[in-house]
Amino acid sequence: MIEIRPLAGWPGSPPSAGDTQTLTALWERCGLTRPWNDPNADIRLASSCENAVILVGWQADAPIASVMTGHDGHRGTVYYVSVDPGHRGKGYGRLMMDAAEGWLRDKGIWKLNLMVRADNQAAVDFYRALGYAVEERIAMAKWLDPAKNPQNRQETA
Ligand SMILES: CC(C)(COP(=O)(O)OP(=O)(O)OC[C@H]1O[C@@H](n2cnc3c(N)ncnc32)[C@H](O)[C@@H]1OP(=O)(O)O)[C@@H](O)C(=O)NCCC(=O)NCCS
């Protein structure tokens, strides 16, 4: 079983270097990191926001599952939904999403929108099993800091 609680430090103070390191290692094992996206910066920012939280599923003080959730005052979303490869198929992913949904409901948020990469059919099937449905929308995005755009960065050229 896992114990779900926010990453130490939330809200308002940065989590410990050790927790940050073990969490980013989990995300790497789960294939959720990208070269152009610094997970440490993501942890720092989410940990400093009252309207966001990183919920971690701990087993013997080791993070084996996670979800970053938050809201913009209207809708909720999730990122970094992960379960360690050695612990999948035990219902932990569902427990993490239940926890994220509960956190959002407590804030008065009644709808959660999430995005899945087009090549991640397993995640689509997981979310469908949890009651999520595909809604026909066009997802648009703009880099507010052009320096963060991988297309503008030499190392990705
Ligand atoms: C997606 C992920 C979090 C699922 O975690 P998990 O602990 O194995 O999922 P659960 O055991 O809680 O499964 C919950 C339900 O989803 C279903 N499900 C989970 N993975 C599935 C898959 N690959 N294909 C089809 N259904 C799946 C289960 O059958 C279960 O359904 P049920 O409750 O009706 O029996 C995990 O596989 C993971 O970390 N993947 C890599 C990271 C990732 O892609 N995250 C999503 C990014 S958008």
Residue 83: pLDDT band with limits 50, 70, 90: very high
114 sits in which H/E element: none
**Atom number, ligand 1, closest to the C-alpha of residue 78:** 48
Distant-in-sequence contacts of 18-25, Cβ < 8 A, 24+ apart: 19/56, 19/63, 22/62, 22/63, 23/54, 23/56, 23/63, 23/66
Q: Which residues line ligand 1 (CB under 6 A)?
A: 30-32, 81-83, 88-94, 116, 120, 122-123, 125-126, 129
Return the CATH number at 12: 3.40.630.30
Per-residue pLDDT at 153 exceeds 80: no
**Atom number, ligand 1, closest to the C-alpha of residue 82:** 39
Residue 157: pLDDT band with limits 50, 70, 90: very low
Per-residue pLDDT at 35 exceeds 60: yes
Contacts of 118 (CB under 8 A, 6+ apart): none
Q: What does the pLDDT look like over 48-58, one tens digit per residue?
A: 999 999 999 99
- Which region, left, alpha or beta, applies to residue 117 given φ > 0 means left and ψ of -120 to 50 means alpha? beta
Interatomic CA distance for residues 103 and 122, integer angstroms: 25
Centre of ligand 1 to C-alpha 118, Å, is 16
Q: What does the pLDDT look like over 111-146, one tens digit per residue?
A: 999 999 999 999 999 999 999 999 999 999 999 999
Centre of ligand 1 to C-alpha 120, Å, is 11
Per-residue pLDDT at 72 exceeds 50: yes
Range of the domain at 10: 3-156
Residue 8: pLDDT band with limits 50, 70, 90: confident
pLDDT at position 154: 62
Centre of ligand 1 to C-alpha 124, Å, is 9
pLDDT at position 75: 98
What's the total number of domains in the chain? 1
